Chains A and B, each alone.
Chain A
Amino acid sequence: MTKSTSPQHASLADLVKGLGSGQFSSRELTDEYLASATDASHLNSFITLCPDEARAAADKADAERKRGAATHLLHGLPLAHKDIFCTAGVRTSCGSKMLENFIAPYDAAVVERLNAAGTIMLGKCNMDEFAMGSSNENSHFGPVLNPWDNTRVPGGSSGGSAAAVAAGLTPVATGTDTGGSIRQPASFCGVTGIKPTYGRVSRYGMIAFASSLDQGGVFARSADDAAKVLATMAGFDERDSTCAQQNTDALQQAAQQGLAVPKNSLTIGLPKEYFQDLNPALTQRLDEARSLLEAQGHTVVDVELPNTKFANPTYYVVAGAEASTNLSRYDGVRFGHRCDNPKDLQDLYTRSRTEGFGAEVKRRILTGTYALSVGYYDAYFLKAQKLRRLIQQDFLTAFDGGVDLLLAPVTPGPAFQLGNLTSDPVEMYQQDIFTVPASLAGLPAASIPCGFVDGLPIGMQLIAPHFEEVRLLELAHQYQTLTDWHQQQPPARTAGGNSQ
């Protein structure tokens, strides 16, 4: 395929059209993306590439299309999964040495649904170990480089997915967001990333970090693309007790017909707490976005979310506590890393876990264990649970007060240099201050590219009431019809590797 017809940065709608008209086959698309992924291996955005499986699946999809069995919108489209989603027969490492050789005998619900739709899995994307991190530097398989500047981080924990979409190695990729793990890397890599409402997407087969916060979502080149994939991922699953029995009709409609722009003018809230002492260049980008939306007839108002300042400590207590017990199953007994020649049971546990987990994972297990311990439970875990309710209430009050959506920064600034924050975990945790509140409240939230700061892409955050993903995506879509920030492509290569 020649450069001019390259689908690499095409929209899903165009890819769907191209497949439907026979302009290219699923196999050709798949080969194209596999080639780009191999080419861009310096980014380290994939932990596992699946060329053989992908080509076989693409051939099967092409055959199905020939006999008229390509009924699903996404049929024959390549994509990539964050390596946190279990894939039957293909290694699922979760970015950890602990699961370096783990092959699940089952698919995650998300994978199952996207497979059933006829999508082609190109591979498994790099990530911070067990989704703990904001820079992708905590991966056992090495850091992912930001396609816009290879000396910078792509964000985390879904850094591989964000970088792969930004670099055109896949049209879309799945991710997970516990405290910002979709939104922050989407902002850093200049792509559209949405974390749906907690309970929208089944967590079955998605390796748990913090069960009450983890939520699967998607990276795409636009809100419209994201809607198409999210509609297939979403929906009730009886295997996940926390999955919502909420209908997905509006999402399905948006996926089939393409996103509309909001029918009515919306009231958009700017949470004051998010803008205090904010990076001036970023403030300016957000002001520009605000003016553009106002020019479309939307009303922008200031709102207060007074408990915002408690969000980060609350998050790190809750997420750590849940993680500390979610990760107990990695004990070297049944699967995962097992130390050599354990001399007794205690030794088996200690060495398997010491060797299998990285520093950040250990740190969170320790803090989480502490927060749940007798004598500290009330002061930490219980208090955090109470604060979580207050933070949730802040949002509900704002929405009840007539605000339709919130607009806020995603990150304090653009992508930072690799290695810059690794020595100071608390400083690293500060990366999450704007994303964590919506996670604690279980709200749908997205990062939408809104310009550049210091030559690097940056996103704005849209936060919607529970299950109002379509409202959020429609506003994002309207914004994306007026801007082309989401269509900006990183330079072909910024450092290292072979040239094209």
Chain B
Amino acid sequence: MSDQPTEDLFRWGNWEPVIGVEVHVQLATNSKIFSNSPTSYGAEPNSQANVIDLGMPGVLPVLNEGAVRMAITFGLAIGAQLNRLSIFDRKNYFYPDLPKGYQISQFETPIVGAGELTFSMDDGSERTINITRAHLEEDAGKSVHDMFPGSSGIDLNRTGTPLLEVVSEPELCSPAEASAYFRALHGLVKSLRICDGNLNEGSMRCDCNVSIRPRGQQELGERTEIKNVNSFRFVERAIETEIARQIEVLEGGGNIRRETRLYDPDRDETRSMRGKELSDDYRYFPDPDLLPLVLDETMIEEMRSKLPELPIAKRARFVTNLGLSEYDADMLTRDPDVAAYFETAAQHAGDTKVAANWVNGDVAAALNRADLAVADSPVDAITLGALLQRISDGTVSGKIAKTLFEALWGTPTRTTDVSAALKRIDALIDERGLKQVSDSSELQGLVDQVLADNPDQVAQFRAGKEKVLGFFVGQIMKSTQGKANPGQLNGLLREALKP
């Protein structure tokens, strides 16, 4: 199934973890899955809930075709079997943020059947994880427990937001692998444009099922479920601490209880979810308000023809066509926004490798420091491409380019016009006098001067001390504030130093 993992899977002693995850992917439809109220995030509480979302008497759900199209797109992207007929069921339980007293979901017959997802681990090894199924369902609202003393608030804006719940087989074998899977799924749904991928807005929430068993044992141990983890790092941490907890319990002679747990990132621990509001028997049955969902072959073919390039294909293309390393290509294709940024920048940069290094290096670091998404980068992709073009055409050195990058970062702009970006960069170069000195007569003068000023070092070089060359380069760079074209300078120095 996968390359031999290089991470240390033996750090749990004789225990082997078994992990499966369920990811709730919030589909990027404009309206809700069974009503026409909008799905935008962050609106006034209860301003985006209509009579259907409120579960008023007599109102009925009508399926949003957009959500169906997105589910089909996902199914096609993971090579899944699409169920030509799927059923919406009612999942019955009482909770104040669940207006109808049931959630419409798909239980026995989901729209997307078995498929698989292939992705890379940080060490470059590749994994393929089987996806059991993916089904459509509606989200519940939100209970707010800390705003009104003595009572709870309910915000039904999120009620009825379409979710695609993607269920993996329990075949992830480490926290890092679970996290990488979650990240790959994130990259995939973003690439497919079926989810905005905003983790901190809850657009993707991960439930992790964790159990451990003695290495070599076939039978699975009792599992716990960690609910609603919403970052790649937290998925890894939550599972890591849960494995450690389970080992401690079992080695202490205790038993693992099947239960739902919550991960607390502040204390880096999972704890049992209290409250008996979730009953075990959801009394699933087909929702009589909705007909079975029958997929139309024409629609499936239409969605197939519209499938964008998948992350894994993009990675291969970056390696084969753009000559990038596997590592660079993987890093660039984990997030489709990063890949798009890179491709735009590379198109104007004149050197794809330099572009890859910049995007994975300086740009990533700057975004990380500022806690910004690449789509919000103050230096947009065209501007970066223009800057890199000025390296490759010899106007500035890589080192000077970093200075320019910082200047550009300070005054964010958006452009779609590369000549405007070049003009802006050139003006900046002129304004700061950062243009590389590539004029050979000017450089020749500097060389002649430095040799004349340092006869001792000239003698040393001529006596075979090659290292002294660096001294001359350094002197000239110092006097030009780094602007001398290093390649040219080297050539002129060597020529002048010839005995």
**Chain A positions near chain B (C-beta within 8 angstroms):** 84-86, 92, 94, 99, 102, 104-106, 108, 203-208, 210-212, 238-242, 321-322, 324-325, 327-329, 331, 333-335, 345, 349, 369, 372-374, 377, 381
Cβ contact within 8 Å between B285 and A329: no
B99 lies within 8 A of chain A by Cβ: yes
Cβ contact within 8 Å between B92 and A328: yes
B133 lies within 8 A of chain A by Cβ: no
B158 lies within 8 A of chain A by Cβ: no
Residues in chain B near residue A99, CB distance under 8 A = 57
Cβ contact within 8 Å between B92 and A242: no
Within the assembled complex, what's the spacing in Å between the Cα atoms of A331 and B154? 14
Write the chain A residue with the least CB distance to B143.
Answer: A345
Shortest beta-carbon contacts, A-B, top 4: A328-B101, A211-B288, A212-B288, A372-B283
Q: How far is the CB of B156 from chain A (nearest CB, A)?
A: 9
Write the chain A residue with the least CB distance to B93.
Answer: A328
B400 lies within 8 A of chain A by Cβ: no
Cβ contact within 8 Å between A328 and B102: yes
User: Which listed residue (A242, A329, A374) contacts B57, Cβ 8 A?
Assistant: A329
Cβ contact within 8 Å between B99 and A334: yes
B54 lies within 8 A of chain A by Cβ: yes
User: Which listed residue (B61, B94, B102) contacts A349, Cβ 8 A?
Assistant: B94
Cβ contact within 8 Å between A104 and B58: yes
Q: How far is the CB of A199 from chain B (nearest CB, A)?
A: 10
Cβ contact within 8 Å between B56 and A241: no
Given A99-B57, A242-B291: A329 touches B283 (CB 8 Å cut-off): no
Q: How far is the CB of B145 from chain A (nearest CB, A)?
A: 11
Write the chain A residue with the least CB distance to B52.
Answer: A239
Within the assembled complex, what's the spacing in Å between the Cα atoms of A334 and B54? 8
Write the chain B residue with the least CB distance to A348.
Answer: B96
Residues in chain B near residue A212, CB distance under 8 A = 288
Within the assembled complex, what's the spacing in Å between the Cα atoms of A215 and B291? 16
Cβ contact within 8 Å between B281 and A204: no
B59 lies within 8 A of chain A by Cβ: yes
Within the assembled complex, what's the spacing in Å between the Cα atoms of A203 and B288? 12
Residues in chain A near residue B61, CB distance under 8 A = 241
Q: Mark B270-290, 1 if CB is under 8 A from A, else 0.
A: 000000010011010101111
Residues in chain A near residue B492, CB distance under 8 A = none
Cβ contact within 8 Å between B63 and A373: no
11 pairs, CB–CB < 8 Å, chain A vs chain B: A105-B56, A208-B289, A242-B291, A321-B285, A325-B102, A329-B57, A329-B99, A331-B96, A334-B55, A374-B281, A377-B283
Cβ contact within 8 Å between B60 and A241: yes
Residues in chain A near residue B92, CB distance under 8 A = 325, 328, 372
User: Which listed residue (B59, B287, B290) contacts A205, Cβ 8 A?
Assistant: B59
Cβ contact within 8 Å between A239 and B285: no
Cβ contact within 8 Å between B90 and A325: yes
Cβ contact within 8 Å between B289 and A205: no
Cβ contact within 8 Å between A204 and B56: no
Given A108-B58, A204-B58: A211 touches B289 (CB 8 Å cut-off): yes
Q: A207-B58, A324-B283, A334-B54 are in contact. List 16 more A-B contacts (CB 8 A).
A: A105-B51, A108-B58, A204-B59, A204-B60, A210-B288, A242-B290, A325-B90, A325-B92, A325-B283, A328-B100, A329-B100, A331-B101, A333-B99, A335-B56, A335-B57, A374-B281
Residues in chain B near residue A211, CB distance under 8 A = 287-289
Within the assembled complex, what's the spacing in Å between the Cα atoms of A399 and B427? 87
Q: How far is the CB of B61 from chain A (nearest CB, A)?
A: 7
Cβ contact within 8 Å between A86 and B58: yes
Within the assembled complex, what's the spacing in Å between the Cα atoms of A238 and B161? 20
Within the assembled complex, what's the spacing in Å between the Cα atoms of A210 and B287? 11
Within the assembled complex, what's the spacing in Å between the Cα atoms of A116 and B81? 47
Q: How far is the CB of B385 from chain A (nearest CB, A)?
A: 48
Cβ contact within 8 Å between A104 and B281: no
Write the chain B residue with the least CB distance to A205.
Answer: B58
Cβ contact within 8 Å between A106 and B102: no
Given A334-B54, A373-B283: A328 touches B60 (CB 8 Å cut-off): no
Cβ contact within 8 Å between A345 and B96: yes
Q: How far is the CB of B376 from chain A (nearest CB, A)?
A: 38
Residues in chain A near residue B283, CB distance under 8 A = 324-325, 369, 372-374, 377
Residues in chain A near residue B59, CB distance under 8 A = 106, 204-205
Q: Mark B58-102, 1 if CB is under 8 A from A, else 0.
A: 111111000000000000000000000000001010101001111
Q: Mark B287-307, 1 if CB is under 8 A from A, else 0.
A: 111110000000000000000
Q: How far is the CB of B487 from chain A (nearest CB, A)?
A: 70
Q: How far is the CB of A174 from chain B (nearest CB, A)?
A: 13
Q: Which of A211, A327, A334, A349 has the most CB of B within 10 A?
A: A334
User: Which listed residue (B60, B101, B288) contacts A239, Cβ 8 A?
Assistant: B60
User: Which listed residue (A92, A242, A345, A373) contacts B281, Cβ 8 A?
Assistant: A373
Q: Which of B280, B288, B290 has the most CB of A within 10 A?
A: B288
Within the assembled complex, what's the spacing in Å between the Cα atoms of A5 and B58? 40
Residues in chain A near residue B289, CB distance under 8 A = 208, 211, 241-242
Cβ contact within 8 Å between B57 and A86: yes
Within the assembled complex, what's the spacing in Å between the Cα atoms of A327 and B79? 40
Residues in chain A near residue B58, CB distance under 8 A = 84-86, 104, 108, 203-208
Cβ contact within 8 Å between B57 and A241: no
Q: How far is the CB of A236 from chain B (nearest CB, A)?
A: 12
Cβ contact within 8 Å between A203 and B60: yes
Q: How far is the CB of A123 from chain B (nearest CB, A)?
A: 18
Cβ contact within 8 Å between A377 and B285: yes
Q: How far is the CB of A250 from chain B (nearest CB, A)?
A: 24
Given A241-B63, A328-B101, A377-B285: A92 touches B57 (CB 8 Å cut-off): yes
Given A106-B51, A241-B63, A374-B281: A328 touches B57 (CB 8 Å cut-off): no
Within the assembled complex, what's the spacing in Å between the Cα atoms of A207 and B287? 16
Given A104-B58, A204-B60, A372-B92: A322 touches B288 (CB 8 Å cut-off): yes
User: Which listed residue (A92, A104, A108, A325) contacts B101, Cβ 8 A?
Assistant: A325
Residues in chain A near residue B101, CB distance under 8 A = 325, 327-329, 331
Cβ contact within 8 Å between A241 and B102: no
Cβ contact within 8 Å between B288 and A329: no
Write the chain B residue with the least CB distance to A237.
Answer: B60
Cβ contact within 8 Å between A328 and B94: yes
Cβ contact within 8 Å between A333 and B154: yes
Q: Mark B382-416, 1 if CB is under 8 A from A, else 0.
A: 00000000000000000000000000000000000
Within the assembled complex, what's the spacing in Å between the Cα atoms of A328 and B154? 17
Q: How far is the CB of A301 from chain B (nearest CB, A)?
A: 34
Write the chain B residue with the least CB distance to A206.
Answer: B58
Q: How far is the CB of A388 from chain B (nearest CB, A)?
A: 12
Q: How far is the CB of B451 from chain A (nearest CB, A)?
A: 87
Write the chain A residue with the least CB distance to B97.
Answer: A333
Q: How far is the CB of A55 from chain B (nearest CB, A)?
A: 27
Q: How far is the CB of B341 from chain A (nearest CB, A)?
A: 42
